[in-house]
Amino acid sequence: MFLRQIYDDELAQAAYMIGCQQTGEALVIDPERDIDRYYKLAAENDLEIVAVAETHIHADFVSGAREFAQDPKVTLYLSALGGDDWSYTWPDASTKVRYLSDGDTIEIGKVEIEAVHSPGHTPEHLSYKIIDRGGGADEPVAIATGDFLFVGDVGRPDLLESAAGVTGAMEPSARTLQGSLAGRVSDLPEFVQVLPGHGAGSACGKALGAIPSSTVGYERRFNGTLKLAETNAEGFVKEILSGQPEPPLYFKRMKHVNRDGIQVTGGPPQPRKLTADAVIAHTRDDNGVVLDARSDRRAFASEHLPGAICAPMDGSSFSNAAGSFLEAENSIVLVLESEQHLDPAVRKLYRIGFDNVAGWITFDELKAGGAEMTQLSVVEFDGVDPTSIPADAEMLDVRGSSEYAEGHVENALNAPYTRIAERLASIPKDKQYYVYCASGRRAALTSSFLESKGYRAVLVDGSGDHKFVRDVA
């Protein structure tokens, strides 16, 4: 049997390729949208992809299932258990698809994959037990758990409400998840490998581990949230619904495009090289957006195109900035450090549903072309006295609400950066905002976004937790 994890560091997302080396067939679980990567991996290992399975309707990336559906050799395996609201609607009569219920199996050569209904994160969620029949096994070697069970954590049950807008879904989903964890994990042998859908850094949980896989036995011993689900139902519900990070705004759109379908493109776009004059003209378009993907936020602060949004190509900053600040109809121009960053940037946008990339230019070319530059006002946190900022100014904390509750600058306004775009109507433009977070990274992204919307922002760089107070109830 062949088993390989394909990991996206930016989105902290894991897909899996499972192959039968005797027959040369392969299955991909939870692929992202740029599917050429999976075909390349299969070819390198003398495998042919014949099946694609999904654990659930994803919120944090565009699924590659619809792109794979164009391949006549590929059969899709999707959950049949979402009910009226969360069942796939995009497959049509021409789609080669099989809908799975609990206990149904997929045969990939001599490898058996059994669907396990594990609802709670979403109603339709399936996990997949993997049994290597060709190797003589009659018990699973692994279970691909999607967003059900992670290393050190479990999936969050609030996204249907907090991201997709399904009012009243949060607590019932938490209770469903508790029942799934208590009933579905305990009957698995302890040696079974846990293959999670996400790792540390994902917004699909709050305490995900940074190691790529685990075992059922290890998680039952050391995963505190799983242990709580197995021993204290009410305590679990309270714990799992508290302190979850605010999901980026694009999560809501991802839920709908993965359920209802998105345009099939055959691969990421190939944006054209632009002149400085063309980029400047683009900024005058009502839907035109410039993402400055240079890695150094301080370089951005000292010099950037007016209206550009800071979206560094390091860590998760680029995808979070795009997914939190952009709208589906935006036409995007990329400002890059070099051409070698073009393909990674375009793929990152493509994976979260932004296809309209009008073009690109390097920063050096933009500057050499005569583009006028501007600066972002910056102060160091240690140099700020929150009690003596100007009368028309306000401290703006763009960390998560749970971080804010643990301590913040006294009287600061809290607007988590991943959701600030939907809060703009309640943030007056007649004030200046001193924007801070825990290091300056999130504050830099937000400050640039606010400036692009006509606000006056000051980036408060660095850490200032020694200036935080905690509200007393």
The CA dihedral of 189, 177, 146, 166, to the nearest 10 degrees, is: 170
With tokens 């007649």, the residue in question is 430
Which two structure tokens, joined as six digits, stand for 126?
């399936």
User: In whole angstroms, how far apart are CA 327 and each of 112, 333, 439?
Assistant: 42, 14, 27
CATH class (in words) of the domain with range 2-260: alpha beta
Residue 443: which H helix or E strand, with range? helix 441-452
DSSP string of 83-126?
TTTSS-----TTS-EEEE-TT-EEEETTEEEEEEE--SSSTT-E
The edge-to-edge listing of strands for the beta sheet with 193-196 is: 105-108, 111-117, 126-132, 142-146, 193-196, 214-215
DSSP characters over 381-421:
GGG--GGGS-TTEEEEE-S-HHHHHH-BSTT-EE--GGGGG
Please state, in angstroms and rounded to a whole number, the distance separating the CA atoms of residues 66 and 96: 11
Spacing of C-alpha 194 from chain mean position: 20
Equal CATH topology for 2-260 and 272-368? no
- Spatial distance between the Cα atoms of 231 and 248, rounded to a whole number of angstroms: 32
- Rounded Cα gap, residues 390 and 112, in angstroms: 66
Are 107 and 27 a contacting pair, CB within 8 Å? no
CA-nearest of 331, 254, 325 to 286 is 331
Sorted by where each begins, the domain ranges of the chain are 2-260, 272-368, 377-467
- Gap between the Cα atoms of 155 and 226, Å rounded: 10
Q: Under CATH, to which class is 377-467 assigned?
A: alpha beta
Tell me whether strands 413-414 and 13-20 are parallel, antiparallel or unpaired: unpaired
- CATH architecture entry for 272-368: 3-Layer(aba) Sandwich (3.40)
From CA 292, how far away is CA 170, in angstroms rounded? 36
H-only helix segments in 164-304: 170-184, 216-222, 224-231, 233-240, 250-260, 276-282, 297-302
Instruction: Going residue by residue through the chain, which has 473 residues, state the pLDDT in tens, using 9 for 90 and above.
Output: 999 999 999 999 999 999 999 999 999 999 999 999 999 999 999 999 999 999 999 999 999 999 999 999 999 999 999 998 899 999 999 999 999 999 999 999 999 999 999 999 999 999 999 999 999 999 999 999 999 999 999 999 998 888 888 889 999 999 999 999 999 999 999 999 999 999 998 888 888 889 999 999 999 999 999 999 999 999 999 999 998 989 999 999 999 999 999 999 999 999 999 999 999 999 999 999 999 999 999 999 999 999 999 999 987 899 999 999 999 999 999 999 999 999 999 999 999 999 999 999 999 999 999 999 999 999 999 989 988 899 999 999 999 999 999 999 999 999 999 999 999 999 999 999 999 999 999 999 999 999 999 999 999 999 988 778 876 54
The H or E element containing residue 451 is helix 441-452
